[in-house]
Amino acid sequence: MREMINFTIDGRKVKAKPGETILNVARREGIYIPTMCYLEKTTPAASCRLCVVEAEGVDGMVLSCQTPPTEGLSVVTNNATLYEERTNIMRLYDVNHPLECGVCDKSGACDLQNKTMEFNVASQHFTAKEQSRKIEHWGLINYDPNLCIMCEKCTHVCNEVIGDDAIELKFGGYKSTIIPKNSEQLDCTYCGECIAVCPVGALVSSDFQYKANAWELERIPSTCAHCSAGCALEYEVKTTGAAVPGEERIFRVTNNFEYATLCGAGRFGYDFDLKGEKDADAFARAVSALKHAEAIRFSSIITNEEALILQRLKEKLGLKLYNEDARRYMAFVEAFGSTADGKAEPATLDALKASDAIVVVGSRIATDNPGIRYAVTTAARHEGAKVVYMHPLEDTLMQNVVTQFIKYEVGTEEGVLALLAQSLLADVETNKTTAAFLDELDDGYLSAESNVGEEELEQIKKQFKRAKAKTLVLGSDLFAHPRAQNIAKLAGLLARFGGYRVVIAAREVNTVGASLVCELDADNGSDANVVGYNAQGSFVIAADAKADLVVAAMNQQEGTVVSIDRHLLPMNVAVGYEGYVLNDLANTLGVGKRYTIDFTAELPTEKGFRAVPFDMLENFYSPTGEDHRGYLLAKVKKPAAQKCEVPEALPEFNGTVIYRCNPVLQFNALTARTSQLERSDALRGSEQFAVAARLRDGDLVKIGEGDAAHSRAFVIDPALKGTIALEPTFDRGFAADGNVYRFEKVNIMKVSNDE
C-alpha cells in the first residue's frame, strides 16, 4: 500500500491518500474552497476555476479539483489575490444573468446566487450581446439555455454515474449550449439527476416549475421505497390550505446529489391519493377477517415494524405468513452462505463502485435496481471496470458500459453458473471436494444447452486476468428458479475460492428486512381463507372484497427498511395520514403498541438488528458523504456447509415466452414523447416477436388461461430483440411478483386490433 502524502493547507498539517486531490483533502478536513462545477461523484469538469489555490513553488494558481498534492507542499486557499480572482470569475458568470432572480425556481437554492452574494457582486461589470436561445421542453425536464452557465455538471453525471449518455455540450463559444446527444428530443430514463446537480435554474422539473419557492418548502429526510438500494432522499412539502393533517402535499423530491443518486421512480414517483378518513365499518370487517383467516399474504413493500407486527399476529392467531419474494430471497442467501464459508455477507454498493471486474447475471438490472446500475456505471467510468452482462435479453440501457454481453438460453441459469465456476476457478487453488465437483461437470452439455461457448468464457478470463476487485451481481431471476438453491451454492464457490464479492439484488425496498423479521411459510396457493397486506397503495384485503381497508402508504408513516447493503434505514412521514394503520389492527387483536415505531427497538437481535429506538436513528448525510442514517446489521452465524449438485437436465423454453419486468418509465411515463410506446402497462415485444406471435402494434391480447388470464395492449418496441416479450408486474399485485420464475411460456391470443 502506498504511503500517505504529508502537506499543509493554510498552515494546517494534513495527509492525502494516493489519488486524492487538494480539494478532496480540504473537504475531508473541513477547509472551505469554493466551487461551482465540482461534483464529488464525477471526474472534475474544471470549467469554473473558482477552486483555484496557490501552491508553494508553482507560478500562478492551480485548480485544486484536479491537482494532487506532493510531499511537503504548502497550499494557500484564501488571500486577497485569490479573492479578487474568484470575484472576477463571478462577474463573468453574471454576464447577462439576472441578479434579481424574480420567479426563477432555483432562487433560494441557487449556487450562482449564493456565490454572487459571497463575493459581493452587486452589479454587472461586463456585458455581452444577447443571444437568441430557445427554451427546450424535454418532457419532465425543461431547459433554459439563457440561464445555463456551462458548468457541465449535468453532462458529467448523466455520462459517468447514470450511464444514459443522453446530453452533451455543443461548443460554440458564447453560443455554447446543452443538447440531446442522439436526437432532437431527450432520449433518457428521466432520472432527473441533471435537474438536481444544476447549480442554477437552467434545468428544472416541468412538474415543479412555478409551483413553489425553495424557502416555502419543509424538507423531510427519508429513504426511497422503489427498490432495495436504500437511496437517501428528501420530500419537500408544504401545506396547500388549512394547516391540518392531510392538507400537506409533496411538491418535489430532492437528494444530496454530491453523494447520493436517485432514479426517476424515486424522484418523480411520489404521487398518491390516499385519504385519511377512518372507516369504522371497514376496520371492523378487517379485524373479523384476520380473526378467521388461515394466512396473511404480504409484499416486501413494507416496513420492518409492520413485518414484526405481522409476525406477532402469526404467533398470536396461529396464522401462516406468506411472502414468496422474501422467503425465496432468504433461502437463496442461506444456500449461498453454505458454500461461501463465511463470505455470505453480500457486498455493498460502494464495493461495487470500486470494482474493476463485474459479472451481472440473472437480472435486467437497469430497471430491476437502478442503484446497482449506477454503481456499475460508476465502476466502468471511474475504475475502468470490465463489465460482463449475462442474460437472455439484451438491454440497450447497459450497452454504454458493458464490455461483453453473453446471451444464454432461458431457464439455463444453473448451467451458466456451473460454467462460470468451472472456468473462473480453473487456475485457482480450491479444496479436494470442490476440485472433484468441477471435474465432474459436463461442460460440453452445459455449453450446448445454455448457449454459452468456451470462447466467451475464455474472453471473461482474459478481461479479468489482472482484476483486483471482482464482483458478481446475482439478480432476482435466480431466486424463484426451480434450481435456485444450487445456483446460489455455485455462486458461493466463486465467493470462497475466486475472491468474488457478491451482490444479491433483492427485488423490493424491504425484501431483506422482511426475510429477517418474519418466519415465512411456503405459499402453494391452497389456503381458502387468506388476507393480504400491501403497504404500497396500502390495502388490507380479505377474501371478502367488502373487507378492504385503506391504510397508510410508505411515505405516510415512520418506520425502517433494510437495504441490500444490510443497512437499516429510517423512513419519515412526508404527508400526514389520519386513517387506520396496521398497528391499529394489532392493538385490537392484542399485539400492538402505542405507536408503530415502538416496535423498532424490538426487531430481532439474533438476525443482526440492534435494540435501538427509532428516535435514536440519525437521519442525515455527513459533509464527507458517509451515510449516518440508521445502522449496519451485525453479522449472523454462517449457515451449515453444504455441497453443490451437478446440474443434470437443463429446462427448455420454446414457443411464446414472456419476461416479467417493469418498464423504466413505470412511474414517470407521461413525457413529451407520448405515444402508444410510452404505455407503462403494455406487453412489449420486438418485431421478431410480433411476427412469431402473429401480432401487430396496438393489438389487444389476452395472456394466459383460466383465472390467471389477463388482457394488455401489445406494443412493438424497436429497442428489443429476439422472441421474448416484456410484461410489467407493477399493476398485478401478488399474482405476478416474487413467487414464480420470471420467464414463462404462455399462450397469447389476439382479442382485437385497433386500427
For residue range 30-79, list pLDDT tens digits in order: 999 999 999 999 999 999 999 999 999 899 999 999 999 999 999 999 99
Give me the pLDDT at residue 755, please: 44
Tell me how many degrees the CA angle 251-146-116 measures, rounded to the nearest 5: 80
Q: What is the SS3 assignment for 749?
A: strand
Highest mean pLDDT range out of 79-88, 251-260, 289-298?
79-88
Which residue did the predictor score with more confidence, 414 or 654?
414
Mean pLDDT computed over every residue of the chain? 89
Give me the pLDDT at residue 2, please: 63
Reported confidence tier of residue 472, pLDDT bands at 50, 70, 90: very high
**Residue range 599-618: average pLDDT?**
94
Tell me how many degrees the CA angle 466-471-472 measures, rounded to the nearest 5: 125
DSSP 616: G
**Residue 416: CB partners within 8 Å, gap ≥ 6?**
361, 390, 408, 450, 452
Reported confidence tier of residue 675, pLDDT bands at 50, 70, 90: low
Among residues 148, 190, 149, 147, the alpha carbon closest in space to that of 166 is found at: 190
**Distance between CA 84 and CA 106 in Å, rounded?**
26
| Measured distance between the N- and C-terminal CA atoms of the chain, rounded to whole angstroms | 67
Share of the chain above pLDDT 70, in %: 91
Contact 559, 306 (CB under 8 A): yes
**Residue 31: CB partners within 8 Å, gap ≥ 6?**
9, 10, 12, 77
pLDDT of residue 96 exceeding 80, the answer is no
* HEC profile of 237-275: EEECCCCCCCCEEEEEEECCCCCCCCCHHHHHCCCCCCC
**Residue range 522-546: average pLDDT?**
66
Give me the pLDDT at residue 648, please: 84
- The grid coordinates of residue 376 equal 456499475
**Window from 340-354, 588-602, 665-679, 709-723 with minimum mean pLDDT:** 665-679
CA-to-CA dists, residue 294 to 288, 320, 338, 344, 528, angstroms: 12, 6, 33, 34, 8
**Window from 243-247, 591-595, 601-605 with minimum mean pLDDT:** 243-247
Instruction: Cite the DSSP H helix spans in 360-505.
Output: 365-368, 370-382, 413-424, 432-440, 443-450, 454-463, 484-498
Tell me how many degrees the CA angle 239-244-247 measures, rounded to the nearest 5: 45
| Sheet order of strands, 232-239 included | 218-223, 232-239, 248-254
Give me the pLDDT at residue 673, please: 43
The residue ranges of DSSP E strands in 551-643, in sequence order, are 559-562, 567-571, 631-632
Give me the pLDDT at residue 620, please: 53
Among residues 410, 472, 414, 442, the alpha carbon closest in space to that of 654 is found at: 410
Contact 53, 64 (CB under 8 A): yes
pLDDT of residue 733 exceeding 80, the answer is no
The residue ranges of DSSP E strands in 475-624, in sequence order, are 501-504, 530-534, 539-541, 549-550, 559-562, 567-571
pLDDT of residue 406 exceeding 60, the answer is yes
**Residue range 380-389: average pLDDT?**
97
pLDDT of residue 579 exceeding 60, the answer is yes
pLDDT of residue 671 exceeding 50, the answer is no
Which residue did the predictor score with more confidence, 503 or 672?
503
- The grid coordinates of residue 344 equal 455470505
- Looking up cell 426511497 gives 224
**Window from 17-31, 406-420, 672-686 with minimum mean pLDDT:** 672-686
Reported confidence tier of residue 670, pLDDT bands at 50, 70, 90: very low
- The grid coordinates of residue 89 equal 470569475
**Residue range 709-723: average pLDDT?**
90
Q: What is the SS3 assignment for 675?
A: coil
Reported confidence tier of residue 241, pLDDT bands at 50, 70, 90: low
**Residue 411: CB partners within 8 Å, gap ≥ 6?**
481, 650, 651, 652, 653, 741, 743
pLDDT of residue 432 exceeding 70, the answer is yes
Give me the pLDDT at residue 542, please: 52
pLDDT of residue 262 exceeding 70, the answer is yes
**Distance between CA 389 and CA 402 in Å, rounded?**
6
**Window from 119-133, 169-183, 235-249, 250-264 with minimum mean pLDDT:** 235-249
Contact 505, 352 (CB under 8 A): no
Contact 109, 198 (CB under 8 A): no
Reported confidence tier of residue 164, pLDDT bands at 50, 70, 90: very high
- Looking up cell 456505471 gives 377
Which residue did the predictor score with more confidence, 675 or 413?
413
All domains in the chain, ordered by first residue: 5-93 (3.10.20.740), 111-205 (3.30.70.20), 280-323+518-632 (no CATH), 327-504 (3.40.228.10), 657-753 (2.40.40.20)
**Residue range 344-362: average pLDDT?**
89
Residue 712 CB coordination number (10 Å): 21
Give me the pLDDT at residue 228, please: 94
Q: Identify the H or E element spanning 339.
A: helix 324-340
**Distance between CA 435 and CA 441 in Å, rounded?**
10
**Residue range 713-733: average pLDDT?**
87
Contact 558, 614 (CB under 8 A): yes
**Residue range 307-335: average pLDDT?**
95
* HEC profile of 126-145: CCCCCCCCCCEEECCEEECC
Share of the chain above pLDDT 90, in %: 68
